[in-house]
Amino acid sequence: MLVLYETPAGYALFKLLDDGKLKKPEDLYQSFTSPQLANETIKLKAFQKFENTVEALSDITAIVEGKLSKGLKEFLSQEISERELKKESLAVADAKLGGSIAKKLGIKVATDNAVQELYRGIRSQFESLVSGVPASDMNAMVLGLSHSLSRYKLKFSPDKVDTMIVQAIGLLDDLDKELNTYAMRVKEWYGWHFPEMGKIVVDNLAYAKVVKVMGVRTNAQSTDLSDVLPEELEKEVKDAAEISMGTEISEDDIENITHLCDQVISITEYRTQLYEYLKNRMNAIAPNLTTIVGELVGARLISHAGSLVNLAKYPASTVQILGAEKALFRALKTKHDTPKYGLIFHASLVGQAAPKAKGKIARMVATKSSIAARVDALGEVEQPTIGIEARAKIDARLRQLEGVQLTAKGAKNMRAQKKFEAKPASGYNATTDFIMSTPEATMDVDKPAKEKADKKEKKEKKEKKEKKEKKDKKRPHDEVEDETETKEKKKKKKKSKSE
């Protein structure tokens, strides 16, 4: 039996001297307890080194995926003769790789439990079985190849960790919700004591800082708020504190409100820090996409797609409505117009466009964003050259749409409306007046109409008579006789009464 053994240094082909040892796999390891026993059990037939790290990575990657690489195919074809192909079988560690070898080369392949024990023994005595490969070199090769292989398998790049962006934008959204809740709670809580300050100090962070520094409103005059507020607002707050309509609160209340203000201030500071981190990450990972749509929208697109590579696989039409899936399927179900934009609506370029031009700009932004995502995901250029060019084109298109009046589709093909020309009003025409005629003349006019009416009446009577006769013909003869008899009796009674 022949044994194929893959190493970071190259391929090794061994010859098992006694095939009978495979019948007892549990005792097979005893044959590899020492270098001498190992050399008596198995013998090196051929060894082929990898020329460089690139070749090693490509070949080992193919083996991991269960594919027969070009280098391995050439090695086995050269070292295994036609006679051995018919007689010998080849021991392979991976069953999937064994299937590929058997299919391409037509050799019998063994991948059972005994083969695994055989590999275990070769691994333990590899240095004594293969000469010319020092242990230090082998360790360095193992380390380098394992790093390269792991990076390939995990699709990991130290500069393109889009997982961090997905987590950062998710945390940023959560912080915004939490911060808004806390800030509103501070305003409602402190508003019972000093309600006027809510209209003067609108910013949540400034409001929390003022409450923390000032405490109770009676301390407003003695507190210096110049570090927190501008001079005009500081004066307004102090004036409002003197005439405030708020209720009094205890020391415990103001202490708890101050603790909540500390939370608002700390969360706001952390949010600013997180935004800077996200901004730097986006500029490092997706510089072209960031140039077109900005950090937040770009991060949300990546998060929604799952990764930058997934976003790069999407067509521009999908990128355009990404985030509006519910509206899309609802529109398709009800057979209404589909949405024109999703997350991309929040991009600054779309926001600058006029309401009628938003759809066109959104489509163009989606097209350029799709190209930028592909360059960022699969390209090696670090500078956002494509993003800058794309943004310039979108800006030019935006200016063009703003300068040209938007018209409906097909307006050019429509017939031009005639220009209005003022015409003089027509005068009174006396000849069109109606003149009353004499009674005799009117009678002459009415005669033909009367004759027509008489003719029509006669015609209707005639039609009724014909219909009646047809009905009588259809009815049975006995019924007709009975009816005629009843009519004759009625006539006789009338005659007798009249007499």
Rounded CA-CA distance 39/386 in Å is 61
H or E segment and range at residue 46:
strand 42-49
Rounded CA-CA distance 11/72 in Å is 8
CA distances to 65, 96, 103 from 4, in Å: 17, 14, 16
SS3 323: coil
* Structure-derived torsion over alpha carbons of residues 113, 115, 117, 121, reported in degrees to the nearest 10: 180
Rounded CA-CA distance 36/17 in Å is 14
Rounded CA-CA distance 43/40 in Å is 7
Report pLDDT for 12: 85
CATH number of 2-154: 3.30.420.220
187 CB-near residues (< 8 Å, 6+ apart)? 198, 204, 207
Judged on CB neighbours under 10 Å (0-12, 13-18, 19+), 37 is middle
Q: Which pLDDT tens digit goes with each residue over 283-295?
A: 989 999 999 999 9
Candidates 1.10.40.50, 1.10.287.4070, 1.20.210.10, 1.10.540.10; CATH matching 162-275: 1.10.287.4070
Report pLDDT for 162: 80
Cα 182 from chain centre: 31
**Strand order of the sheet with strand 10-16?**
42-49, 10-16, 2-6, 89-91, 108-110
Report pLDDT for 171: 95
From the list 176, 278, 265, 258, the residue with the least C-alpha distance to 213 is 258
Rounded CA-CA distance 109/125 in Å is 23
Report pLDDT for 158: 47
Give me the CATH topology for the region 286-402: Serum Albumin; Chain A, Domain 1 (1.10.246)
pLDDT per residue as tens, the chain (499 positions): 888 888 888 888 888 887 777 777 777 778 888 888 888 888 888 888 888 888 888 888 888 888 888 888 888 888 887 777 777 888 888 888 888 888 888 888 888 888 888 888 888 887 888 877 777 777 888 888 888 777 666 654 544 578 889 999 999 999 999 999 999 999 999 999 999 999 999 999 999 999 999 999 888 888 888 888 998 998 999 999 998 898 999 999 999 999 999 999 999 999 999 999 999 999 989 999 999 999 999 999 999 998 899 999 999 999 999 988 888 889 888 988 888 888 999 899 998 888 888 999 999 999 999 999 999 988 877 888 999 999 999 999 999 988 754 454 555 555 556 666 666 666 666 665 555 554 454 445 455 666 767 777 877 888 877 877 776 665 555 555 555 666 666 666 665 655 5
The amino acid occupying position 460 is E
Cα 380 from chain centre: 25
DSSP output for 73-130 = HHHHHHHS-HHHHHH-EEE-S-HHHHHHHHHHH--EEE-SHHHHHHHHHHHHTHHHHS
* Structure-derived torsion over alpha carbons of residues 400, 402, 407, 409, reported in degrees to the nearest 10: 50
Q: Where in the chain is the domain with CATH 3.30.420.220?
A: 2-154
Q: Where in the chain is the domain with CATH 1.10.287.4070?
A: 162-275
Report pLDDT for 424: 67
What is the 3 state secondary structure string of 178-194?
A: HHHHHHHHHHHHHHCCC
Report residue 3 as tokens.
């044994």
Residue the block writes with tokens 């508003």: 191
Identify whether the C-beta of residue 172 lies closer than 8 Å to the C-beta of residue 274: yes
Report pLDDT for 442: 46
Report pLDDT for 484: 63
Report pLDDT for 371: 95
Q: Where in the chain is the domain with CATH 1.10.246.90?
A: 286-402
Torsion sign across C-alpha atoms 28, 31, 35, 39: negative
Rounded CA-CA distance 37/362 in Å is 74
SS3 6: strand
Report residue 79 as tokens.
């070292």
Strands 10-16 and 2-6: antiparallel
Report pLDDT for 499: 54
Report pLDDT for 411: 52
Report pLDDT for 212: 92
Report residue 329 as tokens.
């399927």
Report residue 110 as tokens.
């063994």
CA distances to 412, 481, 483 from 478, in Å: 82, 5, 9
Strands 10-16 and 108-110: unpaired
Strands 89-91 and 42-49: unpaired
Rounded CA-CA distance 282/72 in Å is 42
